[in-house]
Amino acid sequence: EPLIAGGGHEHGLRSGTENIAAIVGFGRACELAMTQSTARREQLDAQRERLERCVLALGGTVFGAQALRLPNTCYFALDHIDGETLVGKLDRAGFAVASGSACSSASPEPSRTLTAMGVPPEQARGAVRVSTGAMTKMQDVDDFCSALAQVADQLRGLRAMAEA
């Protein structure tokens, strides 16, 4: 059966003419991706390393730090700081981050992956995921680290006041 009704192109399977410009563009994009992949990975690795040094300096935990993982993603928690609260504060500071895992970000339950890794539920509930990309500059990472430190200090100050 034809996928789209119309002319007899592709032995009656598809009507219309191939989008040659898109095909050529996709081919060129693949060439660029292949030639730039090593440099891009090095850039992303350096950004993630700087981000993770910042998290560790704030007394946080980086999940899977010793595992083979994506170069652009850091999954972390700051002790005694709720992940959803941290996400909201960072969002208001202009940074798009998420709590929980990408496949279950709508669930309030701690990540099953983190709990399977032996992470206590209270720490897993604090998990936040941040990713960098091809357009991310090291200055963006530094700005994020500054905002993270400021927000962490603010939230820890509130916690200390509540405990007093």
The string of pLDDT tens digits covering residues 30-67 is 999 899 899 999 999 999 999 999 999 999 999 999 99
Other Cβ atoms less than 10 A from the Cβ of 13: the count is: 11
Residue of higher predicted confidence among 76 and 33: 76
* Tens of pLDDT, residues 77-121: 999 999 999 999 999 999 999 986 555 555 667 888 899 999 999
Mean pLDDT of 116-145: 95
pLDDT band of residue 3 (cuts 50, 70, 90) is low
- State how far the alpha carbon of 45 is from the alpha carbons of 3, 17, 55, 128, 130, in Å: 43, 42, 15, 18, 13
Told to judge if 74 belongs to the known catalytic residues of this protein, a careful annotator would answer no
CA distance 11 to 138: 52
Phi, psi values for residue 146, rounded to 5°: -65, -45
Pick from 161, 155, 162: nearest CA to 128: 155
Euclidean distance between the first and final Cα of the chain, in Å? Answer: 73
Distance of CA 136 to the CA centre of its chain: 12
Catalytic residue among 30, 74, 103, 145: 103
In the prediction, which pLDDT does 106 show?
58
In the prediction, which pLDDT does 17 show?
72
pLDDT band of residue 8 (cuts 50, 70, 90) is low
In the prediction, which pLDDT does 74 show?
96
Q: Does domain 42-163 sit in CATH 1.10.3470.10?
A: no
Residue with tokens 């430190």: 149
